[in-house]
Amino acid sequence: MSFPAAKHPSIASYLDGYAEALSRALASVSRESLAAAEALLAKGLEADAQVYACGNGGSAAISNHLVCDHTKGISTDTGLRPRVHSLSATVEMLTAIANDIDYAEVFSYQLGLFGRPGDVLITISSSGNSENVVRAIAKAREIGMGSIAMTGFAGGRTRTMADVSLHVDADNYGVVEDSHQTLMHVLAQYIRQARMPTDLIAQRRF
C-alpha cells in the first residue's frame, strides 16, 4: 500500500498514516535475512575485519551515523574493537574521484584501495540501483568481502547482488530511510547486548 495515497486533512493525520506505513515497512523485513546480516557482521567484527558503509543523500547520512553506533556503541562493555568506516564521509576523496574519474566509482575506487578479503560492506540505497553502490558491491565480491544491502522500493540490482539483502517493502523515501536507520541501530544494539555481561544490560543506556 502506497503512502500517502491521498491528501491528508491535518499534520496529525499525516503522522498517524506515516507511523502506520513505517510499522508495515519494518514488519516486511525478513527476520531470516536480518539474522544472516547479524551473523556476517558479527563474524567480521570478531575477526577484526574492517567494515565499510556507503550510500547517497539521506543514505549517506545513515552510512555516516552507522560509524558512531557500530564503533562506540558496539565497543561499550563488549571487548570488541570495531573498525568501521563510511565511504560517504571522505569529502576530499569523493570529490577527487568524481572529478578525475567518475562519480559512479566513488565507492568502488576506495574499496579497491582499502578493502581486503574478509572485510564487510554495508550498502544503503532506497532504490538499490544507484550505480556507485552497485559498483561497490561488485568490487566487494571481486575482493572477497562480505556484503549486506539495505534496499527499499523494488530492491534494484543490489538486492540480488549482495550476500545478504535487508529489503524494506515501502515506496516512500522517508519511510524507507527511517527503516534503514532502525535496522542499523538494531544490528548495533543486538550485537552489543549479546556480548555484554547479563547483569550490565539493565544498567546501561542503549
CA distance 66 to 84: 8
Show pLDDT as tens, one digit a residue, over the chain (206 residues).
799 999 999 999 999 999 999 999 999 999 999 999 999 999 999 999 999 999 999 999 999 999 999 999 999 999 999 999 999 999 999 999 999 999 999 999 999 999 999 999 999 999 999 999 999 999 999 999 999 999 999 999 999 999 999 999 999 999 999 999 999 999 999 999 999 999 999 999 99
Please give, one letter per residue, the 3-state secondary structure of the chain.
CCCCCCCCCCHHHHHHHHHHHHHHHHHCCCHHHHHHHHHHHHHHHHCCCEEEEEECCHHHHHHHHHHHHHHHHHHCCCCCCCEEEECCCCHHHHHHHHHHCCHHHCCHHHHHHHCCCCCEEEEEECCCCCHHHHHHHHHHHHHCCEEEEEECCCCHHHHHHCCEEEECCCCCHHHHHHHHHHHHHHHHHHHHHHCCCHHHHCCCCC
**Confidence (pLDDT) at 89:** 97
> What is the pTM (predicted TM-score) of this model?
0.96
CA distance 32 to 83: 26
Q: Where are the domains of the chain?
A: 31-201
Cell of 163: 550476500
For the segment 97-110, what is each residue's pLDDT rounded down to a tens digit? 999 999 999 999 99
CA distance 89 to 27: 30
Q: Answer whether 80's CB lies under 8 Å from 196's CB.
A: no
For the segment 165-200, what is each residue's pLDDT rounded down to a tens digit? 999 999 999 999 999 999 999 999 999 999 999 999
| Residue 198: how many other CB atoms lie within 10 Å | 7
The interaxial angle of helices 11-27 and 173-194, nearest 10 deg, is 50
Q: Which CATH superfamily is domain 31-201 in?
A: Glucose-6-phosphate isomerase like protein; domain 1 (3.40.50.10490)
